[in-house]
């Protein structure tokens, strides 16, 4: 009899746990995360070749959603992950735009050709005018945590934000360099102009004489120098990206995306406000080798710092930096020197995808306790990016990507308050609550198991500053 009862309770418990409205009231959205895996359009690379293309109207979850994570990797036609020493993923970037309904934007490959009356940028919240993306990483893609903690999410597809007559779409830019058989792998990944035999940029404009490496020398269809006699087949590749999201509802607090760039030339002036238009972000810079500067006492660390006044306020929810090979760490500080968030590179040590020696295969992230780090409008932040200057580097980057929330989560509804708000404390309510409690325990167990699994799969153990 007793075991019969327990079985019955368990069954009802599971049913309750599965009934979304009820379990949601207790446990937010943990139990209804959607996952989709998409492939980018294919791109074909041979030894030394470069692809840097902009794909419009790529696959993305539809509807009014809150994004929870965005992960990606380069794979071959058989679906096998491709290591960075074969295909170097310089960067990928995912940006939003709004297009007039009926206009087929996928036929345009060049966004300059778009009629501006049909196309509206749907950029992030700031602060560099030329860095409007919502997602994007480089070689560190495989081992960098991107999940947005509960109860937060990055909101998309809000009908109230989509201009009337327009629809929301997504652009994916992938910049990949095939370094199989090249003379100088690091040189090719750092886009050294001599290795690409390039004297004009992608628009045919002559390069400055002192421009010796960077994005202007490894644009789409350029070719890095390959060892004499090296034969390698051209192969078809994809960026496979995995998106997790929940349907938007009032229990989810939206976060805004901001990106800082260490090359930002912004300076405080008497009437500066720190808004986007005042920022000029050059995206890349060079590292002069310490032996040429003759200064040994800096320990051969290139330490670049900028100070920025925040044109926004809110609570820091997540932060991650982007650096290239040679990078040794990055951080945001308050102007009194207190660390707000730091992000350090992880270098690979082997050959296999996700652990390629000499490459940054992951960046640590920061997930402050809710409310622990508040930014007020007008605050001055110091952004620091460190590189090793033992070697000369060209075209390195220093970006810092943060998520900021306007609100802190309200305390969760407890069983107690749920029962109280029901008014009468009938026997049925108590029974129902007991049943729900068992269901909830089952949900927690499943969620905990899932989280452990996810942590192992995503290499989250390396993260946690």
Ligand X SMILES: *[C@@H]1O[C@H](CO)[C@@H](O)[C@H](O)[C@H]1NC(C)=O
> What are the residues binding ligand X (CB under 6 A)?
115, 117, 197, 269-271, 301, 303, 329-331, 342, 384, 386
Partners of 465 in the β-ladder? none
Q: To 5 degrees, how large is the angle CA 158–CA 161–CA 162?
A: 90
| CB distance 402 to 341 below 8 Å | yes
Least Å from the CB of residue 197 to ligand X: 4
Cβ-based nearer residue to ligand X, 40 or 386: 386
Nearest residue (CB) to ligand X, 269 versus 376 = 269
- Residue 329 CB, nearest distance to ligand X (Å)? 3
For the bound state, the minimum distance from the C-beta of residue 179 to ligand X, rounded and expressed in Å, comes to: 17
Q: Which CB atom, from 138 or from 345, has the smaller least distance to ligand X? A: 345
Minimal CA–CA distance to 366: which of 344, 399, 393, 384?
344
- The distance of closest approach from Cβ of residue 301 to ligand X in the complex, given in angstroms and rounded to an integer, is 4
Rounded distance between C-alpha atoms, residue 58 and residue 243, angstroms: 13
* Beta carbon nearer to ligand X, 136 or 329: 329
Nearest distance, CB of residue 271 and ligand X, angstroms = 4
Query: What contacts 278, CB < 8 A, 6 or more positions away?
Result: 266, 272
* HEC profile of 189-232: HCCEHHHHCCCECCCCCECCCCCCECHHHCCCCCECCECCCCCC
Closer residue to ligand X, CB minimum distance, 179 or 386:
386
DSSP letters of 119-161? EEE---SEE-TT---SEEE-GGGGG---PPPTTEEEEE--GGG
Cα dist. 89→1, 189, 283 in Å? 63, 9, 17
Residue 124 or 144: the one with the smaller Cβ distance to ligand X is 144
- CB 416 to ligand X: min, Å: 45
> What DSSP line would sit under 389-436, residue for residue?
-SS-EEEEEEEEEEEEESSPPPPPPPHHHHHHHT-S--HHHHHHHHHH
Residue nearest to ligand X (CB): 329
Quote the least distance from Cβ 440 to ligand X, whole Å: 41
| Smaller CB separation from ligand X, 269 or 424 | 269
The DSSP call for residue 170 is E
Q: How far is the CB of 27 from ligand X (least distance, A)?
A: 37
Shortest distance in whole angstroms from residue 254 CB to ligand X = 29
253-261 vs 393-405, strand pairing mode:
antiparallel
Q: 94 or 340: whose CB is closer to ligand X?
A: 340
Residue 369 DSSP symbol = P
Q: Where are the beta strands (DSSP E) in 335-379?
A: 339-343, 345-347, 360-363, 365-366, 374-375
Which distant-in-sequence residues (6+ apart) come within 8 Å of 32 by Cβ? 20, 24, 246, 247
- Residue with smaller CB distance to ligand X, 225 or 282: 225
């Amino acid at each position: 009899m007793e075991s019969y009862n327990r079985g019955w309770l368990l069954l009802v418990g599971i049913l309750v746990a599965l009934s979304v409205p009820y379990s949601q009231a207790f446990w937010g959205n943990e139990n209804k995360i959607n996952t989709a895996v998409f492939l980018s359009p294919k791109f074909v690379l041979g030894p030394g070749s470069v692809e840097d293309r902009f794909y419009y109207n790529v696959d993305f979850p539809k509807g009014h959603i809150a994004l929870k994570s965005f992960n990606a990797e380069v794979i071959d036609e058989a679906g096998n992950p491709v290591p960075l020493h074969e295909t170097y993923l310089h960067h990928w970037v995912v940006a939003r735009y709004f297009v007039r309904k009926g206009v087929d934007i996928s036929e345009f490959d060049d966004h300059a050709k778009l009629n501006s009356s049909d196309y509206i940028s749907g950029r992030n919240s700031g602060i560099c005018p030329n860095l409007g993306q919502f997602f994007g990483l480089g070689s560190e893609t495989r081992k960098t945590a991107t999940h947005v903690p509960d109860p937060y999410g990055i909101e998309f597809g809000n009908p109230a934000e989509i201009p009337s007559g327009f629809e929301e779409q997504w652009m994916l830019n992938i910049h990949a360099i095939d370094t199989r058989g090249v003379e100088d792998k690091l040189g090719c990944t750092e886009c050294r102009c001599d290795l690409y035999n390039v004297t004009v940029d992608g628009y045919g404009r002559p390069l400055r004489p002192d421009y010796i490496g960077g994005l202007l020398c490894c644009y789409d269809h350029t070719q890095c120098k390959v060892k004499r006699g090296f034969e390698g087949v051209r192969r078809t590749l994809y960026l496979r990206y995995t998106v997790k999201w929940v349907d938007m509802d009032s229990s989810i607090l939206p976060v805004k995306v901001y990106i800082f760039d260490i090359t930002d030339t912004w300076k405080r002036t008497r009437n500066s406000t720190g808004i986007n238009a005042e920022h000029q972000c050059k995206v890349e810079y060079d590292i002069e080798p310490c032996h040429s500067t003759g200064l040994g006492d800096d320990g051969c660390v290139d330490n670049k710092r900028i100070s920025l006044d925040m044109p926004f306020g809110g609570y820091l929810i997540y932060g991650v930096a982007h650096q290239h090979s040679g990078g040794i760490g990055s951080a945001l500080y308050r102007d009194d020197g207190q660390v707000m968030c730091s992000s350090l590179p992880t270098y690979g040590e082997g050959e296999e995808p996700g652990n390629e020696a000499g490459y940054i295969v992951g960046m640590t992230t920061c997930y402050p306790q809710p409310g622990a780090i508040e930014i007020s409008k007008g605050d001055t932040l110091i952004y620091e990016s460190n590189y090793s200057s033992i070697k000369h580097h060209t075209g390195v980057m220093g970006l810092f990507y943060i998520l900021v929330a306007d609100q802190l989560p309200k305390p969760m509804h407890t069983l107690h308050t749920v029962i109280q708000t029901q008014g009468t404390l009938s026997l049925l309510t108590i029974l129902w609550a007991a049943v729900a409690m068992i269901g909830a325990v089952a949900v927690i167990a499943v969620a905990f198991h899932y989280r452990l699994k996810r942590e192992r799969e995503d290499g989250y153990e390396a993260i946690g500053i």
